[in-house]
Structure 1
Amino acid sequence: MANQQQQVVVVGAGVIGLLTAFNLASQGRAVILLERSAVGQESSWAGGGIVSPLYPWRYSPAVTALAHWSQDFYPQLGERLFAATGIDPEVHTTGLYWLDLDDEADALAWAAREGRPLSKVDVSAAHDAVPVLGSGFSQAIYMADVANVRNPRLVKSLKAALLALPGVTVHEQCAVKGFIQESGRVVGVNTALGPIHGDHVVLAAGAWSGELLGSLGLALPVEPVKGQMILYKCASDFLSSMVLAKGRYAIPRRDGHILIGSTLEHEGFDKTPTERALESLKASAVELIPALADAQVVGHWAGLRPGSPEGIPYIGKVPGFDGLWLNCGHYRNGLVLAPASCQLFVDLLLEREPIIDPTPYVPAGRI
């Protein structure tokens, strides 16, 4: 029962914080999860949920390693959460078409090297598979096994699964003000509810992680990067596959909702949706799928991604501050990388054999 006594405080209840807490609680650790607003309402809620980096061949092997492990794991995670909670995260395997890429040759070379099922297809085959696709494209590549997850439902399902485990406390509307230190060790956090102590403190606060770590005099290069999305509602069979061109994508949900995203804006912590982005996203939507010109936009929102150098997250101990850990800085790929990141994190905290080499993600030397 010694494990039961070890208490971990997790700061941030997005997908990374939720899954970190879930994995720890599943291993018998007592967990206190703290969230400044409501569980999963920031980047985790706002994203598109493609279970792949948008352009996987443009990333370092560090991101690729996490992505591949997560992609292979997502279907079973979805099934496990659905079985446990009755809330289906809707891991929906549709495949993905990339259209008119400048670096198509690089993509195909990457796929051959990594053994991923991505191949060049005639653009007419893309039109046959996706009849609503716009006519202005001349080349296409396709990866068959790419899924998307309905991220707002993933958040709900993870929260329900976490709360069903013993030894778990979740405090929403509970902003962390700073860290409590004793003898060179971080032993807790100061919050709106007062001090909360733990044997370990995990910072998984997304775009807010850099600000929090700054209170210790550390410069973590994680900054908010705004992204805006729009949503249409169509028939459930309207769009059969995800499509991506010129940095914009269309994602079909099972019920006919179509997500179009996204912008990349450096606007600090401002996440006000703008008319300019709305018009730009609508133009991209109609270019990808002309029939959307007659469809009504039923949603428009913005979120803040935790931007980081090369999109490589920080996973592991903070040097010089015993008891403090990071699992943050996933930039555009938090939902993609969450299962692997959170499994790797728990392997490190519990001193187990890690699922992949942890070296690229360690904070030492990077902050």
Structure 2
Amino acid sequence: MVDVSIIVGGGILGLLSAQLLANEGRKVLLLEASATGTEASWAGGGIVSPLYPWRYSPAITALAHWSQDYYPSLGKTLLQQSGVDPEVHETGLYWLDLEDEDQALAWAHRHGRPLHPVDMEQVHTAVPSLGDGFSSAVYMPGVANVRNPRLLQALRAALAKLPNVTIIEHCPVSGFINDGARVVGVQTAQGEMRAEQVVVAAGAWSGRLLAKLGLELPVKPMKGQMILFKCAEDFLPSMVLAKRRYAIPRRDGHILVGSTLEDVGFDKTPTEDALESLRETAIELLPGLADATVVKHWAGLRPASPEGIPYIGPVPGHEGLWLNCGHFRNGLVLAPASCQLLTDLMLDRSPCIDPEPYAPAGRL
């Protein structure tokens, strides 16, 4: 008998976990309340780095470094498997007018990351579209962005070809099936579904699900709004970040500008105030955008957790129940390492990184 694993949630964490488990011979049933890849994973910017990596704990750094090294090969593999190019696009990243530049450089030195100060004249030569109002910059080459909607399409298409993966969309999970202290399945809109393991990878909704077992998982939604412009393909050669806002170039000339951080519950409505604020930021960073049309404006819900440290591993007292959630602003960045770690733990083999900081035990 092949073990069956149910994964609740069809974002980047759920889809990639499904692929890794299926590649190990597991039978996987992935359940998604709406359509796969349409929530936070779709809505983010896709920078393959935390916004300010030196401000995070070593737990985030460990996942981020593992994942950053893995992304280029993941992009190539998914293109081969699915025919969809996730566009892992190495542009490098400029941080402008940092208040904590010294800490940033010290962090980079400690971790062997290639971050260095750059003269503003050089920055304007490299990024001619940049505005004039900035006085200092640091640059990290090699930082990539991934076109997250296409990454999700590629994963979905790759999973569709695997005979041991079943995806059921528009199938909300309403609770768990218990056999004593063991979780043996889930209750859904389409009836009971049973499995040897259940993985909760439901992003901002994970806390609501765990509450059905009387567990308090401190993961809550934090709204973020983004806007998208279309420019010439060479308009912005590198990512730029200033005052907690960023501009990300896609290969075809689309420019994403984000993002807001709003504590408004599960409300995903884009607002005029945010649109205006993001447009102002965009024009301050890149004055040429004053003449560009906003192609799209949207909002998503990040799964906020204390210090942004995700929950990855078994839930104590509920045998068979696993978590891979609570990645806050870094779901795409941390996904490869998080899903590899989960797979290693579920298969009881040596983990790719130390699992202790992410363990649900003692944190619920």
Q: Tell me whether the two structures share a fold, i.e. TM-score over 0.5.
A: yes
The CA distance in 2 between the partners of 1:115 and 1:251, in whole Å, is 25
Matched, 1:16 2:26: no
Matched, 1:34 2:60: no
The CA distance in 1 between the partners of 2:30 and 2:218, in whole Å, is 24
SS in 1 for 2:17: helix
Q: How far did 1:167 drift?
A: 1.0
Q: How does 1:57-68 map to 2 (within 5 A)?
A: 57-68=54-65
Matched, 1:49 2:46: yes
Matched, 1:220 2:217: yes
SS in 2 for 1:210: helix
Q: How far did 1:265 drift?
A: 0.1
The CA distance in 2 between the partners of 1:14 and 1:64, in whole Å, is 22
Corresponding residue of 1:257 = 254
Q: How does 1:270-349 map to 2 (within 5 A)?
A: 270-349=267-346
Q: How far did 1:183 drift?
A: 1.8
The farther-off stretch of 65-74 and 163-172 is: 163-172
SS in 1 for 2:205: helix
The CA distance in 2 between the partners of 1:125 and 1:55, in whole Å, is 22
Corresponding residue of 1:205 = 202
Structure 1 residue runs of 4+, over 4 Å off? none
The CA distance in 2 between the partners of 1:244 and 1:115, in whole Å, is 21
The sequence identity of aligned pairs, in percent, is 70
Matched, 1:174 2:171: yes
SS in 2 for 1:98: strand
Q: How far did 1:165 drift?
A: 1.1
The CA distance in 1 between the partners of 2:147 and 2:163, in whole Å, is 27
Stretches of structure 1 lacking an aligned partner (at least 5 in a row): none
The CA distance in 2 between the partners of 1:126 and 1:261, in whole Å, is 21
The CA distance in 2 between the partners of 1:44 and 1:336, in whole Å, is 10
The CA distance in 2 between the partners of 1:124 and 1:148, in whole Å, is 25
Q: How far did 1:184 drift?
A: 1.2
> Which whole-Å deviations, capped at 9, do the CAs of 1:12-35 have from their partners, x for residues lacking one?
000000000000001110000000
Stretches of structure 2 lacking an aligned partner (at least 5 in a row): none
SS in 1 for 2:295: strand
The farther-off stretch of 158-167 and 144-153 is: 158-167
The CA distance in 2 between the partners of 1:359 and 1:183, in whole Å, is 27
SS in 2 for 1:138: coil
Q: 1:139 aligns with which of 136, 141, 148?
A: 136
The CA distance in 1 between the partners of 2:167 and 2:38, in whole Å, is 14
The CA distance in 2 between the partners of 1:319 and 1:85, in whole Å, is 37
The CA distance in 2 between the partners of 1:240 and 1:306, in whole Å, is 31
The CA distance in 1 between the partners of 2:161 and 2:348, in whole Å, is 26
RMSD over equivalenced CA pairs, Å: 0.5
Q: 1:69 aligns with which of 66, 69, 81?
A: 66
The CA distance in 2 between the partners of 1:249 and 1:355, in whole Å, is 31
The CA distance in 2 between the partners of 1:184 and 1:66, in whole Å, is 31
Corresponding residue of 2:152 = 155
The CA distance in 1 between the partners of 2:27 and 2:83, in whole Å, is 24
SS in 2 for 1:363: coil
Q: How far did 1:123 drift?
A: 1.1
Q: How far did 1:159 drift?
A: 0.5
**How many residues matched?**
364
The CA distance in 2 between the partners of 1:118 and 1:83, in whole Å, is 32
SS in 1 for 2:360: coil
Normalising by structure 2, we get a TM-score of 1.00
- Counterpart AA for 1:283: E
Corresponding residue of 1:248 = 245
The CA distance in 1 between the partners of 2:26 and 2:157, in whole Å, is 17
Q: How far did 1:166 drift?
A: 1.8
Corresponding residue of 2:80 = 83
Corresponding residue of 2:106 = 109
